[in-house]
Structure 1
Amino acid sequence: MGRKVKVAVISGVCAAMLCGAGYGMYNVASALGGVGGAGGSSAPQVKTGPPDRDEVAETTKAFFAAWTQNQPAQAATYTNFPEEAKQLLTAYGDDAHITDVRITPGKAEGTTVPFKVTAKVSYGEKSEPIGYTSQLTVVRGVTSHRPLVDWAPSVVYPRLEKGDTLTIESAATPQVEAVDRNGKVLTREKYPSLGPILDELRQRYGDKAGGQGGVELVIRHQDPTGGDAAADTTLMTLVKGRTGKLRTTLSATAQAAAESAVARYANSSVVAVKPSTGEILAVANHRDDGFDAALLGELAPGSTMKIVSAATLIDHGLTTANGPAPCPPSAVWQSQTFNNLANMAPNENATLAESFARSCNTAFVKFADDVRPDWLTNEAGQRFGIGRNDWKIGVPSFDGRVPAPGGPDTAAGLIGQGQVQMSPLNMASVTATAMTGVFRQPVIVPLSLDGRTPATARGLSASTSRQLREMMNRTARSGTAQGVMAGLSGVIGAKTGSAEVDSQTKSNSWFTGYRNDVAAAAVTEDGGHGIDASGPIVARVLRSMG
């Protein structure tokens, strides 16, 4: 956002701790010298194993005492990463101007201590209260053998991650009130998945939405890869600016359904788009790490990739929807053996439509001898707009990756494994292109807002698009997606998928489908088959749109 405000640090920091379970009141000065800190007069006894109850209590007491006295260097000595701790704790007082810190420890559970923080955030003569809960864990120092706070930024504030810091800024970009396509206000409180997206929209379009910046306490993010950091996250407004209004393509109805759907399955993400326009209707994630996998995920899409593979086979004249695509029990290509799902009956007389609807891996692998390494790459890029790194949807996104490596990955790529990677956004777009025959780059804010030039692609011939719709409809009506899509009226189609991951006990669950003018795709990591987790997510979103 903008420049950091220079303000005077308010003195009078709290010099005593509040009572906490098992801690009571204590003298700050004695606490600071009590646990191997600068005031210790004798060498610490060498111990091994996890810290005991007394060590946890004394280490926590000393760390909290230094923190509340705004002594970041001293507090850092009670952690196992003192340089990182000193830097953030210094910013806490000097840059974020958080003063009058009081900490109430809770009851320790083993070596973990929960606690509550109350303080003030100051700007000039203005101050606002702030309160939150966090926790810390005490560990044994590897070389010192001292009990130490296991350092993480979240100790200081629970929403901080590695590389983050706290600061007060005069906002160069005003706050925005994002609204959906019908003018309904979208907030992170009601739609938690939109939090990072709303931050990005403000950073990019705040100055175009008619607002005026204020002064705020923010989390400033740092990109560890050296690229563009994520937009600052506002925690508190100290001096109000004027909020602008920003219209998005999102649908509050679809977003609510998406949020509710992913909440049922851990590590799940979903995106819905409008095929006739490319407008993004919903983006939702349910992940412990907070990562926006819906737009930025890079995962093997499994058999949902067979939409692109089938188009490749048709466009190069290798077969048609009603043409041959035998489904043997296994297939070997360049010494690599590929199998089908358990209990799938082989069919040497199967058509492409049947093998597609049953999600027969071996039928697609058998075409690897006839498919040149660059065909799938070119089909994805030239027909579906995938993998060219030129999408401009309005916020950061991953555009898919379909390399042409040759070797065993040629066969693996045809079934969405190997080096092929997609996000739910990519697969929702692939489904929209298959349905309409036209590639329309997804957008979350109108292109006219900042004159963005969208990515383009040739799209599909009328014949190829028709055949893909027929195969996807068959999959939804009588194939692997039948159970999930049952009861959905209108024009429907779907494709299931599962992608094996070496480190997981179950495959990643993928599902993509459309109903009338809505296409949606979802992934659930470690979710099993497509119908197990991601399928119900997509069906719920499609059902919400009437």
Structure 2
Amino acid sequence: MRKGVKGAVVTTACVVLLGGAGYGGYNILSAFGSDDVGVFAADPDDPLDADDVQEASSAFFDAWEKGDGYAAAAATNDETAAGPVLDGMAEQASVGDVRITPGKAKGPTVPFTVRATVSANGRSKALTYASELSVVRGRTTGKPLVDWAPSVVHPRLKEGDTLVTGPSEAPAIEAVDRNGKVLTAEKYPSLGPILDQLRERYGASAGGSPSVDLAIRHQAPDTPDTTLLTVSEGKAGTVRTTLSASAQEAAEKAVEQYEESSLVALKPSTGEVLAVANHRSDGFNAAFQGQLAPGSTMKIVTAAMLIEQGVTSADGAAPCPDTAVWQGQTFENITGLTPNENATLSDSFARSCNTAFIKLIDEVEDDTLTRVAEDRFGLGRDDWKTGIVSFDGSVPPSGGPDRAANAIGQGQVQLSPLNVASITATAKTGTFRQPYLVSPEADDRELATARGLAPAVAQQLRRMMRLTATHGSGRAAMAGLGPDIGAKTGSAEVDGQKLPNSWFTGYRGDVAAAAVAQQGGRGGEAAGPMVAAVLRATG
């Protein structure tokens, strides 16, 4: 393939060439100066060859190794964005002595290893990591250039992030469980982002002193720095959590079974969180912050509303037909569910019959479910103070088809596993106790309150949840867990997914847990065994 060349061309020759029809996909730039020099450039759509990839990556690596960030940026296709990041490697991050070892290119992609030194306050530490870049042609010049992305500089950098070296925002912490056992991200991977939040919130008051770190400062709000390397150690302060190391270990193993899964376990008698685990590629604490339709686990709240409002009772009528129509929208049950026109609320709850709940929703006002969720279960008021960032749930008042869909955990209802575990805890005890991961005594914060359930309502919910766990849709998952148990399954349909999100919540004695496995299918099949494993480990 011809490459772009720069050569001296006499003016008369240029006239002839411009009038010709050749030169394939190459253009002649209109860049003739007084010395009659013309510049030939490749077409931006021309394929790259190995020499192009070598040329672009070498120019980038050479400038980076020399510490000339803006020259390295000039070798990319976005010099404006790349310049401050690359220059900041030396200026703000104190990264020097950079040596880059390219790997074997795979097409336009070049893997490479960075070895460098981070220096601060007279101390130095070696830094080694792997990354990769891709080469593309510039859209105006056709020149091979590095396709810019912050992850080229470091694989954990995202748009808007910066690398900095200096005293940590907060002193290091040593988080311990309820019995004083040290909790580390190495042993409990799900806790990595949570430990970062605990350090940010409690590090300054935990008795420690700052370390000097190379860290990623994130653009996203409420996101603590991500430490990449500690140049000099500080003194760690101790932060006591409510977690149980044994419950956390069981939760970590449980979520490993499904991608994009999350789980929370807590004590209904106190609200103390015993375990929080996530199996996600993005590090997001969906167990506390997720906002997903909870499927039929929402029927715990809806059943409480129906009983409280006198619409029906655990032993009252709740017929389960094949379909139910609400304001022009037809609702169906899960495949294979046999209709039962003589069903009670307990029967329809235990088998998770959607149509039974849809047919009863006409007996209450548009905002009744919202009021019960807020006043009885403490949901949706944005006042939970768990010790880390969390979502309080959302059960907005809705009219039209969404009013019926909300009743079965679809529509506009959004909950996290933390919220669903709390719902179960409230049903178990009749009392709402706001979940928390760090005791409120650590920072004098006030926990949220709610009225909880009338004793008769809570007693009927427990009966229905026990029936679900022993003879209903939760029976297989809860088998062998003993007499003081209850459960509710859920499957939440999501547009664009082949399988619904699998939800399950249950209690055993003084432990309640909830889990979701995105695209896991039916609640009892994926999320159910996850919850049961943690309940079994804490029994």
TM-score, normalised relative to structure 1: 0.89
In the alignment, the residues of structure 1 paired with residue 536 and residue 51 of structure 2 have an alpha-carbon distance, to the nearest angstrom, of: 57
> Is the 1:492–1:513 contact (alpha carbons within 8 Å) kept by the matching residues of 2?
yes
Identity of aligned residues (%): 60
Select between 282-291 and 104-113 the one with higher mean Cα deviation: 104-113
> Is the 1:222–1:229 contact (alpha carbons within 8 Å) kept by the matching residues of 2?
no
* Aligned match of 1:374: 367
* Aligned match of 1:75: 72
Q: CA deviation at 1:172?
A: 4.9
1:209-243: CA deviation from partner (whole Å, max 9, x where unpaired): 111223221111112xxxx3311122222232211
> Is the 2:44–2:141 contact (alpha carbons within 8 Å) kept by the matching residues of 1?
no
* Aligned match of 1:332: 325
* Aligned match of 1:208: 205
Q: CA deviation at 1:544?
A: 1.2
**Match among 353, 356, 360 for residue 353 of structure 2:** 360
> Is the 2:44–2:140 contact (alpha carbons within 8 Å) kept by the matching residues of 1?
no
Kindly indicate whether residue 493 of structure 2 is the aligned counterpart of residue 496 of structure 1. no
> Is the 1:368–1:411 contact (alpha carbons within 8 Å) kept by the matching residues of 2?
yes
**Match among 280, 286, 293 for residue 287 of structure 1:** 280
Task: Give the letter for the 1:136 counterpart.
Answer: L
1:51-73: CA deviation from partner (whole Å, max 9, x where unpaired): 33332232222222222122222
> Is the 1:513–1:538 contact (alpha carbons within 8 Å) kept by the matching residues of 2?
yes
Q: Matches of residues 453-468 of structure 1 in structure 2 within 5 Å?
A: 453-468=446-461
329 and 141 in structure 1: CA distance in 2 versus 1, 3 angstrom threshold: farther
In the alignment, the residues of structure 1 paired with residue 161 and residue 288 of structure 2 have an alpha-carbon distance, to the nearest angstrom, of: 22
1:408-458: CA deviation from partner (whole Å, max 9, x where unpaired): 110000000011000011001111111111100011111001000000000
462 and 144 in structure 1: CA distance in 2 versus 1, 3 angstrom threshold: farther
Q: CA deviation at 1:149?
A: 2.8
* Aligned match of 1:33: none
What secondary structure does 2:361 align onto?
coil
In the alignment, the residues of structure 2 paired with residue 497 and residue 286 of structure 1 have an alpha-carbon distance, to the nearest angstrom, of: 19
In the alignment, the residues of structure 2 paired with residue 43 and residue 49 of structure 1 have an alpha-carbon distance, to the nearest angstrom, of: 14
1:123-168: CA deviation from partner (whole Å, max 9, x where unpaired): 1432110111122233344555443333322221122222221101
* Aligned match of 1:432: 425
What secondary structure does 1:117 align onto?
strand
> Is the 2:42–2:141 contact (alpha carbons within 8 Å) kept by the matching residues of 1?
no
**Match among 528, 531, 537 for residue 535 of structure 1:** 528
300 and 448 in structure 1: CA distance in 2 versus 1, 3 angstrom threshold: same
* Aligned match of 1:139: 136
What secondary structure does 1:472 align onto?
helix
TM-score, normalised relative to structure 2: 0.90
Q: Report the count of equivalent residues.
A: 503
In the alignment, the residues of structure 1 paired with residue 265 and residue 47 of structure 2 have an alpha-carbon distance, to the nearest angstrom, of: 48
In the alignment, the residues of structure 1 paired with residue 412 and residue 273 of structure 2 have an alpha-carbon distance, to the nearest angstrom, of: 27
RMSD: 1.7
> Is the 2:120–2:166 contact (alpha carbons within 8 Å) kept by the matching residues of 1?
no
Q: CA deviation at 1:303?
A: 0.6
Q: CA deviation at 1:493?
A: 1.0
1:482-521: CA deviation from partner (whole Å, max 9, x where unpaired): 1111122241111111111112111111111111111111
What secondary structure does 2:535 align onto?
helix
500 and 150 in structure 1: CA distance in 2 versus 1, 3 angstrom threshold: farther
Kindly indicate whether residue 250 of structure 2 is the aligned counterpart of residue 257 of structure 1. yes
**Match among 189, 192, 205 for residue 192 of structure 1:** 189
Kindly indicate whether residue 402 of structure 2 is the aligned counterpart of residue 401 of structure 1. no
> Is the 1:401–1:420 contact (alpha carbons within 8 Å) kept by the matching residues of 2?
yes
Select between 130-139 and 442-451 the one with higher mean Cα deviation: 130-139
In the alignment, the residues of structure 1 paired with residue 337 and residue 494 of structure 2 have an alpha-carbon distance, to the nearest angstrom, of: 21
In the alignment, the residues of structure 2 paired with residue 92 and residue 336 of structure 1 have an alpha-carbon distance, to the nearest angstrom, of: 57
Which is higher, the Rg of structure 1 or of structure 2? 2
What secondary structure does 1:366 align onto?
helix
Q: CA deviation at 1:177?
A: 0.4
In the alignment, the residues of structure 1 paired with residue 467 and residue 136 of structure 2 have an alpha-carbon distance, to the nearest angstrom, of: 58
> Is the 1:333–1:368 contact (alpha carbons within 8 Å) kept by the matching residues of 2?
no
* Aligned match of 1:157: 154
Select between 324-333 and 145-154 the one with higher mean Cα deviation: 145-154
**Match among 298, 301, 304 for residue 308 of structure 1:** 301
In the alignment, the residues of structure 1 paired with residue 343 and residue 74 of structure 2 have an alpha-carbon distance, to the nearest angstrom, of: 70
Gaps of 5+ in 2: 1-37
